[in-house]
Amino acid sequence: MNPPGSPVAERLESLRHEFALDAAGARQLIGRIHEEMRSGLAGGRSSLKMLSSFTRHPTGRERGRYLALDLGGTNFRVMAVELSGERSFEILRETRIAIPGELRSGDGERLFDFIASSLDAFLGESGLPGDGRYGLGFTFSFPVRQTGVKAGTLIQWTKGFTAGGVVGNDVVVLLERALRRRGIGCVSVDALVNDTVGTLVAKSYEREGCKLGVILGTGTNACYSEKGKDGVIVNMEWGGFAGFEGNAFDRTLDAASANPGSQLFEKAVSGMYLGEIARLVLVGMAKEGLVAAPEGPAYSLTSEHLSRLVGSAPASGDGVARAVAEIVSTRSAHLAAMALAAVLLWQEERLAEDGVVAIDGSLFEKFPGYRETMVAFLEELLGEHARNVHVEDARDGSGVGAAIIAAIASGTRPESGTP
């Protein structure tokens, strides 16, 4: 234990101030987000890309069996989904595949070939008849400038990906070429989907009144339907928000990252980076002679480790590491609440009606206390409007949403075969 007034206790208190975000600071950031949103929607210079998804909310009557391929981080998923046409769905089959590190940073063609071979294995295990045609929604959770519902070029890799030959190219074309090389003729890529858009669409399929789709996991992002754009869902790519300046630990992490100067907000919020921020804090404390230096290289401390620390009993394990985990994760939750409040207040006229914020991702779903901390700060920022905002899980939203958007794009045609 570290008694009050001890050097370790004093340093922890100092760190709480360095990582603190109060309501006044959050409101300043909300103003900056609104400025960036305004500029991005007008086609001006902005750190928020405000990309059209070419997708609107579903009616809930879409039906049929569809495939979804969800590439969002170190793993990707393949799913077979049945839509009832009555605001309900069933995941018939799902598999999750880890992407080897050499494919995340190697040649892009090899990455897409790996995805195609994994889809081929899924089809074989599912017993799908080879003479059928199966519409597929492709969730690609990286910044993409879409030019249509099934076309879009990668703007930049994030989340540690650097695979060559993909940036500036149409990712649907790259996938379709890989499918042809693999001889998979029974699958048609009907829709390109951002994971946040998929999350919003999946929740909207189940119930009306979904205001936002949000990802709080390995990465972070949000989308909403913009009235000025005919209700088309706008992918904000808010991980790139540059109005948040961070502290010395954020700057150290950014400088050593694969994309320095980019995705600054995501690096302070998302699960991919929280463990490394905590590790850098502990390294700094070790240099001050306050704790033993943490073992392992960069990114050896993960958000899963932080989750276990925060979920442990206060008297157990490493108390200093636990306190650092709480400090870093609390700031993440507060920043997420601030950004949520910014988008909700942008649609202030809609706050008079009940609505849902649909959130998918491991931070929100699994990190102890994260959801409660985020919601409490969101309520503080929204004031009386908070009573009309209902934050809900949207587990599997990015995959299910891709299937629904494929159904919308293909005219809700029922597919042959039974996954």
CB 98: neighbour CB atoms within 10 A?
9
Backbone angles phi, psi at 313, to 5 degrees: -65, 140
Fold designation for 7-51+207-393: Hexokinase; domain 1 (3.40.367)
Q: What percent of the chain has pLDDT over 90?
A: 78
d(CA 225, CA 122): 34
State the burial class of residue 319 (Cβ atoms within 10 Å of its Cβ: 0-12, 13-18, 19+). middle
What's the pLDDT at 332?
Answer: 98
The amino acid present at 328, given as its one-letter code, is: V
d(CA 55, CA 71): 19
- pLDDT tens, 209-240? 898 999 999 899 999 998 767 778 999 999 99
Which class in CATH covers the domain with range 63-206+397-408? alpha beta
The residue written with tokens 């909403």 in the block is 224
Q: Where are the beta strands (DSSP E) in 63-166?
A: 63-71, 75-84, 89-98, 134-140, 144-148, 151-154
Helix (H) or strand (E) holding 140: strand 134-140
What's the pLDDT at 131?
Answer: 58
Structure tokens at 385: 């409007």
Structure tokens at 14: 């100092």
What is residue 416's DSSP assignment?
S
Mean pLDDT across 272-284 = 97
Residues of the chain with CATH 3.40.367.20: 7-51+207-393
Q: Per-residue pLDDT for 392 more than 60?
A: yes
What is residue 150's DSSP assignment?
T
Query: Which residues have a Cβ under 8 Å from the Cβ of 196 and sit 6 or more positions away?
Result: 141, 213, 214, 215, 221, 222, 223, 235, 236, 398
Q: Where are the beta strands (DSSP E) in 233-375?
A: 233-235, 355-360
Q: What is the CA radius of gyration of the chain?
A: 22
The model's pTM: 0.88
- pLDDT tens, 44-62? 999 999 999 998 899 999 9
Strand 355-360 versus strand 389-393 pairing type: parallel
What is residue 405's DSSP assignment?
H
Backbone angles phi, psi at 60, to 5 degrees: 90, -5
Distance of CA 334 to the CA centre of its chain: 16
Is residue 300 within 8 A of residue 280, CB to CB? The reply is no
Q: Which of 165, 152, 146 is nearest to 52 (CA)?
A: 146
Q: In degrees, to the nearest 5, what angle opens at C-alpha 238 toward C-alphas 138 and 282?
A: 105
Residues of the chain with CATH 3.30.420.40: 63-206+397-408
User: Which residues are annotated as catalytic?
Assistant: 159, 195
- pLDDT tens, 402-411? 999 999 998 7
What's the pLDDT at 352?
Answer: 82
Q: Greater confidence, 372 or 416?
A: 372
Residues β-bridged to residue 145: 153
What confidence tier does 129 reach under pLDDT thresholds 50, 70, 90? Answer: low
Q: How far is CA 74 from CA 47, 122, 401, in A?
A: 25, 18, 20
